[in-house]
Structure 1
Amino acid sequence: MSAARTVHLLRHGATVQPGLLLGHVDVAVTPQGIADCVRVAAGVAFTQVVSSDLSRAADCAAALGAPVRHDARWRELDFGAWDGCDPATLPADALAAFWRDPDRHPPPEGERWSTLVARVTDALADLPDATLVVTHGGAIRAALASACGFDARQVWAFDLPCAALLTLRLWPDTAQIVRLTT
């Protein structure tokens, strides 16, 4: 069996516009959100930092004091016409259909769940051992779907608040074996 890799996934800090569907829209992170990410990452052993290119993740990654490689594959799900919207203002039936099955009912002009999982799967495969990725809740859930075989409904059961850290221990020669730590 090949050596296992450890990958740390850190969700960006709180944004200046909480409660909205934030996909590819670029919204700033709060100073406290950056501080929370720095505090959480202080206890993590990593050799490199990779970040989504969106500022709410990139600014948190930059504050860690290590060189950062930006990778757009770690962006959040593209909510299309819903990007930046308050969910309470969207058609309830369309939003419910999306949460039930985000692949069959993506947001208007938005990304399908399977597309997000595919790009995160590719990004995850490119990471060496001891990498810290600063990314988004949807991308972390897509990594769980990829690594563990969870479906969309299962990964939404994971509580991933801002500045949440999830560590994956991945064995490349063995399908579906992952160690989750927090």
Structure 2
Amino acid sequence: MTPFALHLLRHGAPVLPGRLMGRTDCAPTPDGIAACVAQAADLGVERVVSSDLQRARAAAEAIGPTTIDPRWRELDFGDWDGLAPDQVDSNALVRFWEDPDASPPPEGECWSSLVARVSDAIDALAPVPTLVVSHGGAMRAALHLLCGFEQRRLWAFDLPYGVLVSLRVWPGDKPSAQIVGIYP
């Protein structure tokens, strides 16, 4: 099949940065929205898709007409959701980062559940130039699925607020991709 461009854009800075914000619906800053709009300015996409959380949705809607897809949400951090990392038991947090399937946050989502829903979201994409405004965890899940990165290796990617990861995706039963650019 013919490849298509897929651009993954992490939402801009939220009003409460540096927190474990999975389902926490924190607003973005105006500067965070502006940074995302600037990243998307010359992409030439035919479709914009966004997580339903306002920190992603506000930027996507500022870019253009948007399809909302909650499968692009961040990992649900359960009881840790909305907390700063130093407010979480450090041993539990280390266990989570080492193996987020075996040690998910209490009442939270495991890594494989995030991967499964992002996989469904990828499968639903039309093979046209697309921008997805999402979250760091969902972007890492997409890189795992499309590029074959092991889960532990994904933490090596710095995905700051407003980062754009551009991919060339080959659709099919098992889609694959090549990273063509990372723009902080």
The count of corresponding residues between Structure 1 and Structure 2 is: 180
Identify the residue that residue 63 of structure 1 maps to in structure 2: 62
* Residues 61-94 of structure 1: CA deviation (Å, up to 9, x unaligned): 0111x21110000000000000000110111110
What TM-score comes out, normalization by structure 1 length?
Answer: 0.95
* Cα distance in structure 2, aligned partners of 1:115 and 1:81: 17
In structure 2, C-alpha distance between the alignment counterparts of 1:8 and 1:18, rounded to whole Å: 23
1:75-114 deviation line (CA, Å, top 9, x unaligned): 0000000000011011111000000000110000000000
Give the corresponding residue for 2:132: 133
Q: Distance in 1 between matches of 2:179 and 2:173?
A: 16
CA distance in structure 2 between the aligned counterparts of 1:157 and 1:178, rounded to whole angstroms = 19
What is the percentage of aligned positions where both structures have the same residue? 54
Give the aligned residue type for 2:76.
D
Partner residue, 1:151:
150
Amino acid at match of 1:116: L
Long gaps (5+) in structure 1: none
Contact 1:149 1:176 in 2 (8 A): no
The answer on 1:40 being equivalent to 2:26 is: no
Larger deviation, residues 169-178 vs 136-145? 169-178
CA change 1:75–1:173 in 2 (3 A) is closer
Which stretch shows the higher mean deviation, 146-155 or 12-21?
146-155
Q: Which runs of 5+ in 2 are unaligned?
A: none
CA apart distance, 1:181: 2.1
Q: Distance in 1 between matches of 2:49 and 2:133?
A: 6
How large is the RMSD of aligned CA atoms in angstroms?
A: 1.3
